[in-house]
Homo-oligomer: A and B are copies of this chain.
Amino acid sequence: MKEDELIQRLTAGAPANKRLRLGPGDDCAVLDCDAPGLWELFKTDAVVEGVHFEPDADPGLVGRKALARCLSDIAAMGGTPSAALVTLGLPSPPDTARLEALYRGLYALAREYEVAVAGGETVAGAGRLFLSVAALGFVEKERCVLRRGARPGDALFVTGELGGSIAGKHLTFEPRVREARWLTNRFALHAMMDLSDGLASDLPRLLRASGVGAELFAEALPLSRAAKVRFRSGATRKRPLEAALTDGEDYELLFAVASKDAVPLLDAWKEAFPETRLSCIGKITSGGGMTIRERKSVRRMELNGYDHLTQS
């Protein structure tokens, strides 16, 4: 059973109440906290040693990553992060110096984004070190962007570059909070999410939520330097295009806007974020499914993720 399917089974029948505006299935949950004009965003995420970071990874970057993943999800809804709590699972005995370095890295990122770290729990006896972060954020009701809402004809954009994150970016990526706040302030985004499992897994989630399809332009995909270097050096057999589609942990924003906004958006972006690429990678279609237009061929992908991707 795949992760999406398992989560869907487990979250079926999850209790709601009048404060819950959006439950499982988007980047964050959306809650009504009685603040005039604002929704509250609520997210948890965990990193586990040996899965999300290697035992010898810089502990400061591990702490940073645990928080950054949550901030990326809050950014993906258009929100501003406000507070976080950290639960630390410890295999005994704890290595205090390593844990302090881990928290220092987390706190440094929190400070950068003005996020309060409101508390922490430690749980002894975990099989492997894990960090579970719970984060809160706020978003003006009219600027909250969901995964649903993409419309046929919309242009599809992605920030930054894709693929090869394992070479280092998975620990050092910048959550796109500033970029998302800038975007929702200037343009009416129809749908948005962050890329955590790879474009070929994540885009179908946005398409399913919106009830639409998409056509991607292979040549427009922003292939990362890391993906190219890794292929050339033999570190991976994945060609950069496949890496851009299927590597996880890009933590870039994927969003859809009306096609009329595409050119003004690209122009304004270049001025605002001259050092960060923004790429129009395709368009939303009315038909279900997802196609990738390459120079000489068109590939069809199923909407249930890269498990079914035919490797070229």
Check B96–A24 contact: CB distance below 8 A: no
Instruction: List B contacts of A46 (CB < 8 A).
Output: 87, 89, 121, 123, 132
Check B130–A89 contact: CB distance below 8 A: yes
Compute how far the CA of A116 lies from the CA of B127 in the bound complex, rounded to whole angstroms: 30
Indicate whether A15 sits within 8 Å of B107 (C-beta atoms), given known contacts A7-B122, A9-B100: yes
A118 within 8 A of B: yes
A85 within 8 A of B: yes
A175-221 at interface with B (beta carbon < 8 Å):
none
Check B19–A83 contact: CB distance below 8 A: yes
A276 within 8 A of B: no
Check B82–A19 contact: CB distance below 8 A: yes
Partner of A42, one of B83, B88, B115: B83
Of A15, A103, A114, A124, which is in contact with the most chain B CB atoms at under 10 Å from its CB?
A15
Partner of A31, one of B29, B50, B82, B132: B82
Partner of A17, one of B87, B116, B134: B116
Compute how far the CA of A33 lies from the CA of B1 in the bound complex, rounded to whole angstroms: 39
Can you list 5 A-B contacts with CB-CB less than 8 angstroms, sorted by A residue number? A11-B119, A17-B83, A24-B119, A48-B123, A89-B89
- On A, residues with C-beta under 8 Å from B are 1, 3, 6-7, 9-11, 13-17, 19-20, 23-25, 28-29, 31, 33-36, 38, 40, 42-48, 50-51, 82-83, 85-89, 91, 94, 96, 99-100, 103, 107, 110-111, 114-128, 130, 132, 134, 136, 138
